[in-house]
Each structure stands twice: as structure tokens, then as C-alpha cells.
Structure 1
């Protein structure tokens, strides 16, 4: 009987061609995975960048719209007497003429018409504030005041809003038409701009409390605070207010585009509640690259804006009843895959961005000044 030995089949392994095909297939699969990963990462970066831009936009609009709604408020009387000294070096009509709710400067770059007025174009080249305040212009053909020089980025306008703010809750105990206001306990700081008001009149002044704090005077006494007041001996109060009157803080606030602490452009505000000497500057929203402002002017006195013009072309601020604001916001990081320069239209002005990969978004709003025009 023959014995059969089992026969074993030995594998021959993979050929070089099969291995190469496997490597190619694996590479294709890996490339697909990497592309999906990269696409998701890029989409996440775009979404995150856009969300940050939109967040900054919302915050900017909220703050400036709130100020716009308050602008022009002077208590229950429109009959305001302004005692601030117009001859002081720190006085500026746009900042301290409280008979007007608004003020501002148009970036003109020394020309007329302005390089950023409607139908004009401007290319953004820097986020470094300009050292030359004469690049801006207003209705009085004046450049920026000292408090704004070296703070504003070229290409953007400056908006000023003014109003009487919260009540100080200071009790008026005694007052004559030409003396100090005798008051109750308070913690008003030297140089604070206040307004005393009732429904028949209002007086705005820079306050210099006595050492006891029991009197609010208009005499600076060499305090160094600016702009100070007109000579109290020659400029009486409009009336002697009684204990039923209110003493309110008066706010003058300028909005502009400056360079933020991170080096990015940002929306700023500077408050002059203690005059020009101790103005307080705050960064509001990072990434706001440009701001354009148009003032709605009421020509026929019906309370509605008949035309919108730049600060340079305004006849006066008394007829301003509305504002149009436009902003260009950008992401902090370069996200776009193909860097390029792009054009954006802000209130009729063509703003050209630098050639980079940042996300940008243009937005605008119209604000009715509730305390001007129809009430």
C-alpha cells in the first residue's frame, strides 16, 4: 500500500507590482482623509473668524447706537446756556458746544472734496495713527484737536455725540444767578462737566467744588483743568434754580478708528466728562478697520433728514436729525486661501483693502436722533 505524503502549498507573497498598487491606493485614501481634515479645519477657521467679526460688529453697533439715541438730551428743557470757555486752548466747538447734539471730522487728506466722501475712493495702507491732525476737516475748516492727534487711523471719519447723562442726585440747597450752587453731600471730582436743569432752562458748566464739597463753583482757581468756564462775574446763570432742579453729568464722546493694544485696528471712544485735560480713552471693538459717517440734515424743519452729507459739507450741526454710519470689520488672522485686495462700498465711498487673506465684512446703520427733530 502506497503512502501518500501530504503536499503543502507555499505562498509566493506579493509581487512588487501588487505592493506598489497597495501603496498607491493607501496614499490616495490618506490624501482624501487629509483633504477632508484640512477642509474641516479651514471651515472651522472661517466660521470662527466670521463669528468673531460679527461679535465685534454687534458690540460696536450696540454702543454707538445707544449713544446716538441719547444725543441731544438736555433734560426737559431745550433752552441750554453753555458756560464753558470758548477762548481756552482746550476748547473745541465740536466737543464742547453742547447746544449741538453732534460733531465730527471728515477725513479729507487735505483736499476738497474729501478723499473719503461719497463717490470717492480710498485705499487702506496703514493702521498707524496719523501724526497730522490737518488731514481731517470739519464745518469750521479745522483739523483734529490735540486730544485726538496721534490717535486716529487715516481714512476714517470721527463722530462726536453729546448729551446730558444720569442724574447726580445732588440736592440743591441754595443758588443765586451769579454765585456758587450750595449743595448737599457729594463726591463730584474737580473738572467734572455738569448741567443743572429744570423744565424752563438748563446751564452746562465745568464744576470746581469747594474744599468742603458743599458748593459747586465755576471758578477754576488754577486747577489746570480745561476748558474751564467763562468769567463767572460777567456771565450769570440763566436763572436761580430751586431744589426741584436736577444736576446731571454731561457727556461728550468721540468715536474713531485707532490702533488697538494688539496692533489691530479697533473702534475707540474718548469721553470728555472731565474736559479735555482728563479725557478717558477706551478700546471698544477690535478689528473695526474703517468708519464712514454721514449727517442727516433737515433742510425744511419738518424733523426729517432731507440729505446726508459729510462733516466737511454740513451747513451747521443744529439741523442734524439723523446719522448714517458704515464700518468695515476684519478678522484678526489671515484665513482666505488666496490673498487679494478687495473693494467695499461704505455709504457710497469705495474702500480698497490691503492684499491679504483676512475675512472682511462691511455693515451700516441709520440712527434717528430721538432728541432732535420730531419728538
Structure 2
């Protein structure tokens, strides 16, 4: 039992059971349950592991009158060994912004940064893959589509990125490019830049720099019409920085964006559907917009190594960008449908509660298996 529970993958087992007994795996209740197991399977598995050790211990104690103290010590030791083997946490950080943990996956030979229950980037330790962006930033995912746009293939490309993570997006930079990362949490900057655990910023240091502080305030210091691309990567965590996606914030970004540029927003989020606000913002600023939910692809294909499902939206003044993405993706990039009753967030009015109830349009939820 101990060996079984230590290797148990709860979401996978429930998924297989549901499929075997003919349950609809897309049913809302089952989907929510699977997501709950996915977020908490580590804790549940530890509890089952502990019970598989504690119950026999109590039986032994009652039947053979074995002393309670050594049994407890053995159980605690087993749990400790389990944690070392399963979690492989190599470093923890804590500050005002929360707890950050760095994990080492010995089987996949990679490291990743987690803030709460959200992964903020992975990096492979394999030499051939060390400089490849993984997870939500994968070259075969939406971000790969964006950087593959012909209009952004120039040597003097200038990109602003709000949200650093482990620096994965630095891998898209080339000689002559300028990538500016804005990161609020100084510990995240320390982790990505100075610990030696992740090397994206070091590997692409000649193209990238990091500025610590609130992204909205820091980007105001940039010159007007300076950036070709602005990427907002701050909405995948449990805490949503609303002030980065208001009518006023978008105007700040537009003032610093070239007329032929784009604003990309990474909106993968377990709890919120941000599409209504994005559509409303585009309408207020008279922008073209498009969206992709890249959730379905062959995870066993080697080219999709450590690729994660991701949702991105784009704002632009240039209709050609939206048309090109739709054309080359087979319309998996498509405009967000109209949400006429939703009022765009402003600095004086915003609420996440309506977004908890919205459901994405199924026609927009499908993403290409090939990008």
C-alpha cells in the first residue's frame, strides 16, 4: 500500500476510471473534480501514504503492545523520506509577495519555479534543450506563433515584458534585439538572475535587461512609440493584478507601442475567464483583437516536450497581424466574441466576480494540435 500510494497519480486514475465506466469527461462536475485533484493530488497522496503507514502501526501497537513512540518515529521518518523523494524542493523563498519554491525533477532533468500552486517557468538541464522556452512559452504554442510573425523578424526588435518568471521569454531574443523585463517581486528577479539555478537571462544577457518594480509604472519611463511588442504575463497566478489591464493601463501601453506593434496578454487562469474584459478594452480603444486557447495537442510528441496548455490574446492597431495569425493557424486564432453587457475595467471600477461566471465560447476553446 505504501509503495502504491507513493506512486499514485490521482487525476490520471480518476480519468481512466471515468472513461472505463462511460462517464462524460467533459461534464462540468467531473472537470472541476479533476482540476481539484490536479491542484491537490500531492497533499491527498501524502495523506493516503501516511494512513497506509499509521493504520498498520496502530494494529501492531494494539495486538503486540508495541510502544507508541518508536512507531510514530518510524511513520514520521517514512513521510519525511517520501517528501524528499517526491517533491525534490531544492530551495524556498518567502517575502511579502508569498512563498516561492524551486523544484528539481530528476526524471525529466529540469527545474521549475512555483509560486503557490502556479508554475512560473521551467528549464531543462539537458544541453540541447537548455535554451528552449518551455511550458506556456513553448515555441509550438501561442507565443511561438507571435514571435514567428514576419513583421517581428527584424534585428532591432524591441520587446517589453511585464512579468519575469524564470526568464523563459528571453530565449526568443536574438542579437540586436532589446528585451526589457519588468518584475514586481525582487525575489523572483534574484531567482532568475543571480542564483545560477536558471540560466535564461545569463544565456541571453546581451539582449535582455530586468527592471524591478511595478510594470505599469516602470513602462511609463519608456519613450513614446518605442516598443514593437508588449507582453503582459501576470495573470496566470491566483492573485490577479487588475491595475495592469484597465482602460487607463492599456492607454499607457499604446502610447509606448509603435503603430505596427502588438500587445500580447497571457491569460491562462484556473479561476477567471478574462476574455470579456479584453474584448471590452479593445472596443474602448478601437483595436483589433484575437485570441487562442491552445489546450489540445499531442503531449507525447517529442516536439511538444514540456509544452503546457496556454491562452493568449492580442491587441493591435494593425489588422494585418490579426488576419495573418488567423490565416496561418487555420483560424484557431480568432476574435473574442462580443460581451455587450460587460463594462471594461477602469482604475476606478473593476470586479473579478462577473468573470467567475462567464464561460468561454466553445468555438474559441479549440486550439490547433500543430502550431
What TM-score, normalized by structure 2, do the two folds share? 0.23
**Larger radius of gyration, structure 1 or 2?**
1
Structure 1 or 2: larger strand share? 1
Larger RCO of the pair (alpha carbons < 8 Å, separation 6+): 1
Structure 1-normalised TM-score? 0.23
